[in-house]
């Protein structure tokens, strides 16, 4: 694989925008990424679009990438849709990275887009067909991670207030992010006092449903030189793992650990080298578990990272500086590329009040879906200031 760089990033604010369209969201993100890179539509040679729920919510299983790209003036190139649960955007980013890294293309576009505010009446299950029985029995993401939280609390002795600190931290970070869905600070009492969803997870311990889009322009070194691009961030590695049959530890995801190890090996770095990270904090317990599975701390010591302030801005390893899924928002297919947007912004030194000083290496992590009793996909990207 040859060197691949992120040359441009763009995204919409995340929130609830039922009066717009999915192609309008995608167009806004694409045009912002093109402008950020300083290139035109005709420079893009290939595009991959991540979306997870569009088929069920908008009755359009295919063609979302074409809709968004054509709306932004990009036509007559290879465009493919990517559906991989919550890791759809991350997988689209990986596909673009492989397309450019292989030498087949020099300039690629990765886009993630979702519009969850236009859901049909009555809702639909988030589980796959292989999970039909478990879904009928209440095996939903909040229920699963509530079980994981109970297991974690039983093993470590921490209480719900410790988990709630993740929500408070990430809202504090989101207050500094103009793209975030929720920017008003919250207190520990507000998190614990919000309505219960799946004990011990309250409403403010769970990510919101969101609309939004994010895009990234990936280029080869040759294209960067030819197009005279600057402000580059190098993609050191990209890994993708799938699940299997779970072991006896419901509080950890083996596929996250495997994806992280593969990414570290490819990038020739370790978790101790990471300066800033965006992880899949769909629920408060998730962020704590991910600290451990990604190697940021020893097993069963993730809660201590939150309590000590290690994962806050100004700490040893700031995590979810964008506000994370909990506060920046989680428009499924857009999330993975939004994470890359934040890390690229940090590595460029352009994050303003939420800037991690001296950040040189950043990591993004996105996990999604359930098949049988395990998560379906986990993607990890490691990026470095060029």
**At 282, phi and psi to the nearest 5?**
-60, -30
Task: Kindly name the residue from 86, 206, 207, 366 that is annotated as catalytic.
Answer: 86
- Is residue 86 among the annotated active site residues? yes
- Please say if the pLDDT value at position 119 is more than 70: no
Lowest pLDDT segment from 5-19, 31-45, 110-124: 110-124
Give which of 374, 130, 128 is closest to 248, Cα–Cα. 374
CB distance 150 to 376 below 8 Å = no
Cβ density class 31-60: b for 16+ within 10 Å, e for less:
bbbbebbebeeebbbbbbbbbbbbeebbee
Q: pLDDT tens-digit profile of 138-193?
A: 678 898 899 999 999 999 999 999 999 999 999 999 999 999 999 999 999 999 99
CATH class of 4-117+209-234: alpha beta
Q: Is the peptide bond before 335 cis (omega within 30 degrees of 0)?
A: no
Q: CA–CA separation, 286 vs 149, rounded Å?
A: 8
**What is the overall mean pLDDT for the chain?**
93
Q: pLDDT tens-digit profile of 56-98?
A: 555 556 789 999 999 999 999 999 999 999 999 999 999 999 9
- Please say if the pLDDT value at position 371 is more than 80: no
Percent of the chain clearing pLDDT 90 (strictly above): 85
pLDDT, residue 6, reads: 99
Interval 319-337 mean pLDDT: 99
Find which of 46-55, 149-158, 363-372 is predicted with most confidence, using mean pLDDT: 149-158
- Please say if the pLDDT value at position 134 is more than 70: no
pLDDT, residue 126, reads: 47
Q: pLDDT band for position 132 (50/70/90)?
A: low
pLDDT, residue 56, reads: 57
- Is residue 207 among the annotated active site residues? no
Q: pLDDT band for position 385 (50/70/90)?
A: very high
Interval 338-342 mean pLDDT: 99
Q: CA–CA separation, 148 vs 327, rounded Å?
A: 21
pLDDT, residue 279, reads: 99
Task: Give the residue extent of every domain in the chain.
Answer: 4-117+209-234, 129-206+235-385
Q: pLDDT band for position 122 (50/70/90)?
A: very low
Q: CA–CA separation, 69 vs 373, rounded Å?
A: 36
Percent of the chain clearing pLDDT 70 (strictly above): 91
Q: CA–CA separation, 48 vs 116, rounded Å?
A: 20
- Please say if the pLDDT value at position 26 is more than 70: yes
Q: pLDDT tens-digit profile of 240-266?
A: 999 887 667 889 989 999 999 999 999
pLDDT, residue 62, reads: 76
Q: pLDDT tens-digit profile of 196-212?
A: 999 999 999 999 999 99
How many Cβ atoms from other residues are within 10 Å of residue 194's Cβ? Answer: 17
**At 236, phi and psi to the nearest 5?**
-75, -35
pLDDT, residue 304, reads: 98
Q: Which residues have CB under 8 Å from 277's CB, separation 6+?
A: 294, 296, 317, 318, 319, 320, 343, 362, 363, 364, 365
pLDDT, residue 244, reads: 82
pLDDT, residue 121, reads: 43
Fold match flag (4-117+209-234 vs 129-206+235-385): yes
Task: Kindly name the residue from 173, 280, 330, 341 that is annotated as catalytic.
Answer: 330
Tokens representing 306 are 């939150």
Higher pLDDT, 322 or 375: 322
Q: Which residues have CB under 8 Å from 133's CB, separation 6+?
A: none
The pTM of the full predicted model, rounded to 2 decimals, is 0.95
- What's the CATH architecture for 129-206+235-385? 3-Layer(aba) Sandwich (3.40)
Q: CA–CA separation, 209 vs 14, rounded Å?
A: 10
Interval 108-120 mean pLDDT: 89
């Amino acid at each position: 694989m040859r060197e691949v760089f992120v040359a441009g990033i763009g995204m919409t604010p995340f929130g609830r925008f039922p009066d717009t369209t999915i192609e309008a969201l995608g167009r806004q993100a694409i045009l912002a990424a093109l402008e950020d890179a300083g290139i035109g539509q005709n420079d893009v040679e290939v595009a991959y679009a991540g979306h997870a729920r569009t088929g069920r919510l908008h009755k359009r299983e295919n063609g979302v990438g074409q809709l968004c790209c054509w709306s932004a003036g990009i036509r007559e190139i290879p465009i493919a849709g990517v559906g991989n649960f919550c890791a759809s955007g991350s997988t689209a980013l990986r596909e673009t990275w492989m397309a450019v890294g292989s030498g087949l293309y020099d300039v690629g576009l990765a886009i993630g887009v979702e519009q969850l505010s236009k859901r049909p009446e009555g809702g639909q299950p988030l589980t796959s067909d292989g999970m039909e029985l478990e879904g009928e029995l209440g095996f939903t993401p909040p229920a699963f991670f509530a079980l994981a939280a109970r297991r974690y609390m039983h093993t470590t002795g921490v209480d719900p207030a410790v988990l709630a600190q993740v929500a408070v931290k990430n809202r504090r970070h989101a207050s500094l992010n103009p793209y975030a869905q929720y920017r008003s600070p919250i207190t520990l009492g507000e998190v614990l006092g919000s309505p219960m969803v799946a004990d011990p997870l309250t409403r403010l311990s769970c990510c919101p449903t969101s609309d939004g889009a994010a895009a990234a322009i990936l280029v080869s070194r040759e294209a960067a030189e030819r197009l005279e691009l600057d402000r580059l961030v190098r993609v050191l590695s990209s890994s993708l793992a799938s699940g299997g049959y779970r072991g006896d530890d419901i509080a950890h995801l083996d596929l996250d650990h495997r994806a992280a190890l593969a990414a570290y090996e490819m990038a020739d770095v370790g978790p101790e080298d990471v300066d800033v990270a965006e992880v899949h904090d769909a629920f408060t317990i998730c962020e704590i578990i991910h600290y451990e599975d990604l190697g940021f701390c020893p097993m069963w010591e993730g809660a201590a990272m939150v309590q000590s302030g290690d994962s806050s801005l100004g700490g040893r390893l700031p995590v979810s500086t964008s506000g994370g899924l909990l506060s920046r928002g989680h428009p499924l297919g857009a999330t993975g590329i939004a994470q890359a947007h934040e890390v690229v912004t940090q590595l460029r030194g352009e994050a303003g009040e939420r800037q991690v000083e001296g950040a040189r290496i950043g990591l993004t992590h996105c996990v999604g879906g359930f098949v049988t009793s395990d998560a379906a996909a986990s993607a990890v990207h490691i990026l470095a200031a060029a």
